[in-house]
């Protein structure tokens, strides 16, 4: 079950879309912060979870952003003179990509005594081990490496199907942080459509099932429970009962995997075990990211409460405010007008790969 929260950018969504989904944890909350790109001077709240980053305005909560970490291309601190009282502020610059479009975001703290959130987000998204230490004498926290925090990037096997990756060393699974092995089953055949197969080992953990070939450890598959659609036992005319695991549809396609496990009663035991672990992971997902923040850092009142007078209008702002400059330049220059029969007007010719329908899309 792919999570849109980590894979999409959405603008001005209803407040229900800002609520945490099962397994989503708030790692940092920083305020007041402005969305400098489109809402200069508008005080708001910046929230970093283990799947995405959220910003919403204090004054009008329907002005908001949700940016999935999987869309991020560049994260860096940048100095922007956005406040007359403060000569230079370390702002957070983001470059994100969805499809063939690139978006730029700039978030700036409105107080000089700020949390260094650019380094915080870099730590959450990129690096292996980071945490926040208490504020120093001038009130500015620093980010240091610690052994008990893990990054979003290295936790992707918790949520993504992997084929032929370097996950096995010397016939042993490279166990990820927050993962533990529940069972190891030798002598399991991975079957092809012609009922031929490869002999290997089946490893069951709290977050995924892994199979690898005995003679070639690189011939393997890692299938997280979050990507499994269903389990079943099917009868084969030639080899008897087979454990079948079907994956959900994803960017790498849909897989139907067959495994032969002897004897039959052993197969049923394993089926019950992985079904139980699958249910647990679906109900209370573990995304593989841990984080230590300052003990005094509070995250109360996470999602703003909607006012009865305020309608939840989705997409009230134009997303072009966030389009990367180079992308806007490619649209604005070098494309002479041409007659468009569908609307009966002469319009500027669009670049290759861009059509009029997608230009009007607000949600991605």
Architecture of domain 4-152+289-319: Roll (2.30)
For 237, the token pair is 């005319």
pLDDT of amino acid 130: 36
pLDDT of amino acid 195: 65
Measured between alpha carbons, how far is 34 from 55 in angstroms, rounded to an integer? 9
State the chain's mean pLDDT as an integer. Answer: 77
Of 199, 173, 194, which Cα lies nearest the Cα of 184?
173
The predicted model scores a pTM of 0.75
pLDDT of amino acid 297: 44
Residue in this structure with the two tokens 């995250």, named with its chain if needed:
299
Instruction: Tell me the average pLDDT across 203-231.
Output: 95
- CB of 208 within 8 A of CB of 224? yes
Fold of 159-283: PH-domain like (2.30.29)
Under the banding of pLDDT at 50, 70 and 90, the label for residue 238 is confident
Higher per-residue confidence, 353 vs 89: 353
pLDDT digits (tens, 9 = 90+) for 269-312: 999 999 999 999 999 999 988 776 544 344 444 666 555 444 54
Question: DSSP 3-state assignment of 161?
Answer: coil
Measured between alpha carbons, how far is 186 from 184 in angstroms, rounded to an integer? 7
Task: Give kind and range of the element (H or E) at residue 282.
Answer: helix 264-283
pLDDT digits (tens, 9 = 90+) for 60-87: 888 999 999 899 888 877 765 544 444 3
pLDDT digits (tens, 9 = 90+) for 91-123: 788 889 998 889 999 888 887 644 556 666 666
> Where in the sequence of the chain do the CATH 2.30.29.30 domains occur?
4-152+289-319, 159-283
């Amino acid at each position: 079950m792919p999570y849109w929260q980590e894979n999409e950018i959405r603008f001005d969504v209803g407040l229900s879309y800002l609520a945490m989904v099962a397994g989503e944890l708030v790692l940092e909350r920083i305020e007041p912060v402005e969305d400098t790109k489109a809402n200069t001077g508008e005080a708001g709240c910046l929230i970093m979870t283990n799947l995405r980053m959220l910003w919403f305005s204090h004054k009008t909560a329907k002005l908001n952003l949700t940016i999935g970490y999987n869309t991020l291309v560049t994260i860096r601190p940048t100095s922007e003179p956005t406040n007359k009282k403060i000569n230079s502020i370390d702002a957070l610059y983001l470059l994100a990509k969805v499809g063939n479009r690139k978006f730029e975001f700039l978030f700036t703290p409105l107080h000089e005594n700020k949390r260094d959130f650019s380094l915080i987000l870099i730590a959450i998204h990129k690096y292996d081990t980071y945490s926040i230490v208490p504020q120093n004498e001038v009130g500015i926290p620093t980010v240091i490496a610690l052994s008990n925090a893990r990054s979003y990037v290295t936790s992707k096997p918790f949520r993504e199907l992997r084929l032929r990756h370097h996950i096995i060393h010397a016939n042993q699974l490279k166990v990820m942080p927050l993962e533990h092995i529940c069972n190891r089953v030798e002598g399991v055949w991975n079957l092809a459509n012609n009922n031929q197969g490869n002999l290997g080992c089946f490893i069951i953990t709290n977050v995924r099932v892994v199979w690898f070939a005995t003679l070639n450890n690189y011939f393997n598959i890692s299938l997280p429970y979050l990507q499994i659609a269903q389990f079943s036992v099917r009868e084969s005319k030639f080899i008897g009962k087979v454990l079948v695991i079907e994956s959900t549809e994803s960017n790498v396609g849909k897989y139907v995997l067959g495994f032969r496990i002897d004897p039959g009663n052993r197969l049923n035991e394993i089926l019950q075990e992985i079904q139980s672990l699958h249910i647990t992971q679906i109900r209370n997902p573990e995304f593989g990211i841990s984080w230590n923040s300052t003990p005094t850092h509070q995250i109360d009142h996470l999602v703003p409460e909607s006012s009865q007078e305020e309608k939840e209008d989705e997409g009230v702002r134009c997303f072009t405010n966030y389009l990367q400059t180079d992308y806007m330049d490619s649209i604005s220059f070098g494309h002479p007008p041409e007659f468009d029969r569908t609307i009966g007007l002469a319009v500027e010719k669009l670049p290759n790969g861009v059509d009029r329908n997608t230009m009007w899309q607000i949600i991605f």
